[in-house]
């Protein structure tokens, strides 16, 4: 008889978790749909005529009308959007007018470069930002704390594109510490076999150590520039979370028992802000994926950000929508992942 309440409780918890999962999935789908609809409408407000981009400025009226019909632009906007959603459900993101190829193939080619750049920048910014936050919380109000706050403020305030141009001028043109724009020098660009799409992994798999060092020489400067952006946010948010946690009773008790600052910081405060740390790191990673447009443009990095920029200038609607769907979907999925990891690691959030 004692097993009935336990079974009933398990079934209730299962129903609650299933309902929560379905609600989250529905929220993701609605958000993606809204993102697509908003981007689709904005893309049609562009002053650049995609028909002119294909047919040319001197095309005859009949040619112009034929190209417009082939692109489906002679239909009402709701019909065009509905057709796009129907193709999307079949895995078809459309045909890019800029590259003359399927958008999905373009994204498969460019997304690994963005993912590699954002991942390396996230590792750099996450480690440095967490360390700076710990140093600032170790002795609040001190010179060290004020210095860390100044560094994080500069990371927020300085524009990424200006910092990138300044970095190229100093480390590439003057000091020659960086290999400059792009992923590889021209001598290796056409000899590297793209097995994974990640230049560091592919150059390492090639066995050519000189190519690997060249890839690192191209990568480190944009990683540092982009990582400074995530470092600033991680430092400020983690410092605030650590200082808020340091005023709680268990920290006062630990101090009364004679625990030192370092022990309190590492063994008491840091484990109790792991939920905040996971959320900050995950959302910073998502921000780097969508915010690498300027960095990729400055450093001629062949990623989704640069691909999207070229598509915007050419009014390439399928490429714009495909890039927006990829980046927006990544942001939404990483946001959901952050919530799930926080719930798994911090019982207080359940």
pLDDT in tens, 234-283: 999 999 989 888 888 888 888 888 888 788 888 888 888 888 888 889 88
Portion of the chain with pLDDT greater than 70, in percent: 91
Query: Based on the domain organization, do 158 and 293 belong to the same domain?
Result: yes
Find the largest Cα–Cα distance for the chain: 87
Interval 33-38 mean pLDDT: 82
**Residue 230 token pair:** 């995530």
Query: Based on the domain organization, do 249 and 298 belong to the same domain?
Result: yes
* Domain annotation covers residue 209: yes
Residue where a domain stops, chosen among 89, 124, 139: 89
Query: Based on the domain organization, do 13 and 40 belong to the same domain?
Result: yes
Query: Based on the domain organization, do 203 and 237 belong to the same domain?
Result: yes
- Look at residue 118 in the predicted model and tell me its pLDDT: 93
- Look at residue 349 in the predicted model and tell me its pLDDT: 60
pLDDT in tens, 137-186: 888 888 888 999 998 888 878 888 888 899 999 999 999 999 889 999 98
Minimum mean pLDDT range among 17-26, 94-103, 127-136: 17-26
pTM metric for this prediction: 0.84
Interval 129-139 mean pLDDT: 90
| Alpha-carbon span 337 to 162, nearest angstrom | 33
pLDDT in tens, 300-345: 999 998 998 888 887 787 888 888 888 888 888 888 788 777 777 7
Structural domain count, the chain: 2
End-to-end CA distance of the chain: 29
Q: Which domain holds residue 24?
A: 3-89
The neighbouring-strand residues paired with 95 are 102
* Domain annotation covers residue 335: yes
**Which residues are CB-neighbours of 105 under 8 A, at least 6 positions away?**
none
**Residue 347 token pair:** 């019982």
């Amino acid at each position: 008889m004692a097993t009935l309440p336990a079974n009933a409780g398990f079934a209730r918890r299962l129903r609650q978790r299933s309902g929560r999962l379905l609600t989250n999935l529905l929220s993701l789908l609605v958000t993606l749909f809204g993102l697509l609809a908003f981007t689709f409408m904005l893309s049609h407000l562009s002053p650049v005529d995609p028909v002119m981009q294909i047919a040319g400025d001197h095309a005859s009226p009949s040619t112009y009308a034929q190209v417009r019909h082939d692109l489906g632009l002679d239909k009402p906007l709701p019909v065009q959007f509905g057709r796009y959603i129907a193709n999307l459900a079949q895995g078809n993101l459309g045909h890019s007018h800029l590259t003359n190829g399927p958008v999905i193939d373009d994204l498969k080619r460019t997304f690994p470069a963005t993912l590699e750049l954002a991942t390396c920048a996230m590792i750099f910014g996450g480690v440095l930002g967490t360390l700076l936050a710990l140093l600032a919380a170790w002795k609040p109000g001190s010179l060290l704390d004020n210095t860390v706050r100044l560094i994080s403020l500069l990371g927020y305030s300085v524009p990424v594109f200006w910092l990138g141009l300044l970095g190229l001028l100093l480390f590439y043109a003057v000091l020659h510490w960086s290999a400059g724009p792009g992923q590889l020098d021209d001598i290796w660009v056409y000899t590297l076999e793209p097995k994974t799409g990640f230049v560091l992994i592919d150059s390492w798999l090639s066995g050519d150590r000189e190519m690997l060092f060249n890839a690192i020489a191209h990568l480190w400067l944009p990683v540092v520039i982009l990582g400074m952006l995530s470092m600033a946010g991680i430092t400020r948010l983690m410092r605030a979370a650590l200082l808020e946690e340091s005023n709680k009773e268990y920290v006062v008790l630990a101090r009364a028992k004679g625990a030192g600052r370092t022990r309190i910081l590492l063994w008491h405060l840091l484990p109790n802000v792991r939920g905040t740390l996971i959320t900050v790191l995950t959302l910073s990673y998502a921000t780097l994926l969508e915010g690498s447009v300027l960095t990729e443009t400055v450093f001629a990095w062949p990623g989704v950000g640069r691909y999207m920029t070229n598509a915007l200038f050419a009014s390439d609607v399928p490429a714009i929508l495909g890039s927006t769907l990829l980046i927006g979907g990544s942001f939404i999925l990483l946001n959901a992942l952050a919530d799930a990891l926080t719930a798994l690691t911090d019982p207080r959030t359940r």
